[in-house]
Amino acid sequence: MNREEAIKQAEELVGGMTLEEMAEQLRYDAPAIERLGIPEYNWWSEGLHGVARAGQATVFPQAIGMAATWDDELIKEEATVISTEARAKYNAYSSQGDRDIYKGLTLWSPNINIFRDPRWGRGHETLGEDPYLTSRLGVAFVEGLQGDGDFLKIAACAKHFAVHSGPEALRHEFDAKSNMKDMWETYLPAFEALVIEADVESVMGAYNRTNGEACCANSYLMEKVLRGKWNFEGHFVSDCWAIRDFHEHHKITSSPEESAALALKRGCDLNCGCTYRSILEAYDKGLIDKEDIRKAAVRLFTTRFMLGQFEHNEYDDISYDVVECKEHLKVARKAAEESIVLLKNNGILPLSKDRYKKIGVIGPNADSRRALMGNYHGTASRYTTVLEGIQDYVGDDCRVLYSLGSHLFLDKEEFLAKEDDRIAEAKIVAMNSDVVILCLGLDETLEGEEGDTGNAYASGDKRDLMLPPGQRRLLGAVLAVGKPVIVCMMAGSAIDMSVADEKADAVVQCWYPGAQGGKTVADILFGEISPSGKLPLTFYKNEDLEKMPSFEDYNMKGRTYRYFKGTPLYPFGYGLTYADNVVESVSADKTYSEMASKAGSIDFSDARKAYETLSDTDMTVKVKVSNKGRCATEDVLQIYVHVNSDNEVDNAKLAAFKRFSIEAGETKEVEVKIPNRAWVVIDKDGNRVSDGSGAKITASLGGINPCPANDNGSGFVSIDI
């Protein structure tokens, strides 16, 4: 159903409601209106990396792991699975009269905020630190969720709009101040892409203020940019209980009625929370009028009509047996395979069952289900931890010894024991093993949303980039035994792995790899699959925090690979394979002056038309890549550009990428398209300009920030255009 038709039907339906009925429909837990044939509907559902909090579902790698695939086609396939399962569950639940929270068709995903600071606890919910990568993967995710049928398959939601990435502990009263250059260069591009390219059906506001105005009632963001420049036609939803923060924490209003009125008049249609229960009081006080209420209700029912909730549609017959079916689990396994990033390998990997007959598996995340899942997850019918994956893989061919080694974050496992009560066992296991697989990291109890799951650090943010002290002592003790050690890091953010990088034989970033992630880790370790993931964020050393602005400072200078001036531990885009791939040459079919001339002629007063022009791919780049190794693999070609302009970011920026496969000994040409937006820079006022004198293109297989880890033979090939 097209939007015009849905609006017409929504207006007719809303026109038959009383004022009280309209007001009640603006709550996330909208009640039924039986006389109009409207069933109750709970708008709050989650689908970050699988249908969440609604029972059984296929559990994919956490979002940051999805981003590490650098595979937009796969991301769309994952989202298609999620939307299919969401429809199946909605159909089944509705048939039982169950219309409870988390069981609807409006999934509040994806989270496309920029992971600007490595301390942010919710960073693992995002698609990384780069605006371009986030926009490409975000668009693919929304397209997979919403489908291409006659009706919306699922209504996706771009969140949290905008300029939002911690600190979690302050979010209810915090004012994130951003200059216009950072706003349009970093914080808004992914939202712009999802609104204009993917026609995302909803946008969620953030808890914090941005430049003095609450994000759920922000005149600049919501009226001038979202509804104005971008002509967004879907509905806007508050983050949960964010409107209550207006009067309780931000102190920009003095009562629930004033808060409800401010949000509603600025264009917040749906309240996740309780403040819109005061809408009628706001109306009685003259703070809003009937048209404000009616307009929001029409937008919400437009979405419901587009979802086909009031007539039979092509998705009504999706049956429950698709949930966690064989085909969906296959996609989840592929996602896990492509997400895992090999950070160091002195040649020990892949392991051989013939060489290593006794394998020690140690660490608090070795046999942890929590370490598979991340947060905002569904419930799988079966989980395979790393320990179980290794046991299943080696079978009776090898002996597997296991030790917890340490608590995840406390100094001991048993309450009455002394500190480090599991380290002796870990050393014994290491001494009796031919090789040790040490599984360290975090889980959703240590990094996540403020107040989520009772996390050990109440805010969910990290204090620093170090592992918990007990795990650091465990790492040192196991390394001191002198056996070969492979560190498997299961975390959703940058951890300082300097000690492991220096002393371990291999380091593998596993993220939170999904319900069957342990099987995939085993397949990677034993060479059934060559690792091919790439970091979607920079991995710093802990002391690098001293070189960055404070966590509360939203200025991008000094942050992420585009602005960081130091030497990171592992750079954005980095990741090894079991092959030996190198970039041989790069060529472009056009010059910078040709591209800049076209970009410079764009009329930016029509934002949508300008964006479409900027999305054109007029430059073709051809890169010759060779596999000088002895195994086939997949890899990711990355294209970075840097315009010679005072308005350009400090370092080069990602402009294109492409996943490809290559056989052992093969040389092939990989062709990629660079969109016109790569040649436009942002001035201090947030304007797009083409004022460069030239540009450089760099082709790489592992990021471009200089650091010791990147001296792996792949090199970079750059050309001036």
Active-site residue list: 239
Q: 425: buried, middle or exposed (CB in 10 Å: 19+, 13-18, 0-12)?
A: middle
What lies within 8 Å, CB to CB, of 686 at 6+ separation is 180, 181, 183, 184
Question: Side chain identity at 331, as an amino acid letter?
Answer: V
Distance from the Cα of residue 689 to its chain's centroid: 29
Nearest to 507 by CA among 530, 493, 531, 489: 489
Who contacts 284 (Cβ-Cβ below 8 Å, separation ≥6)? none
- Residue whose pair of structure tokens reads 């960073």 in the numeric block: 123
Q: Where are the alpha helices (DSSP H) in 482-546?
A: 498-503, 517-525
* Residues 82, 76: Cα–Cα separation, whole Å: 10
Q: Answer for the pair 57, 84: CB distance below 8 angstroms, yes or no.
A: no
Q: Is the dihedral of CA 123, 127, 133, 135 positive or negative?
A: negative
Residue type, 82: I
Q: Look up residue 410 and give its two tokens.
A: 């406390």
CA distance 41 to 507: 47
Q: Which of 661, 667, 660 is nearest to 632 (CA)?
A: 661
Place of tokens 């981003």: 67
Give the 3-state secondary structure of residue 513.
coil
CB 569 within 8 A of CB 539: yes
First to last CA, the chain: 46
Cross-strand partners of 583: 625
Which DSSP state fits 316? T
The H-assigned helical ranges of 27-155 are 63-67, 72-95, 131-146
Q: How crowded is residue 289: how many other Cβ atoms within 10 Å of its Cβ?
A: 12
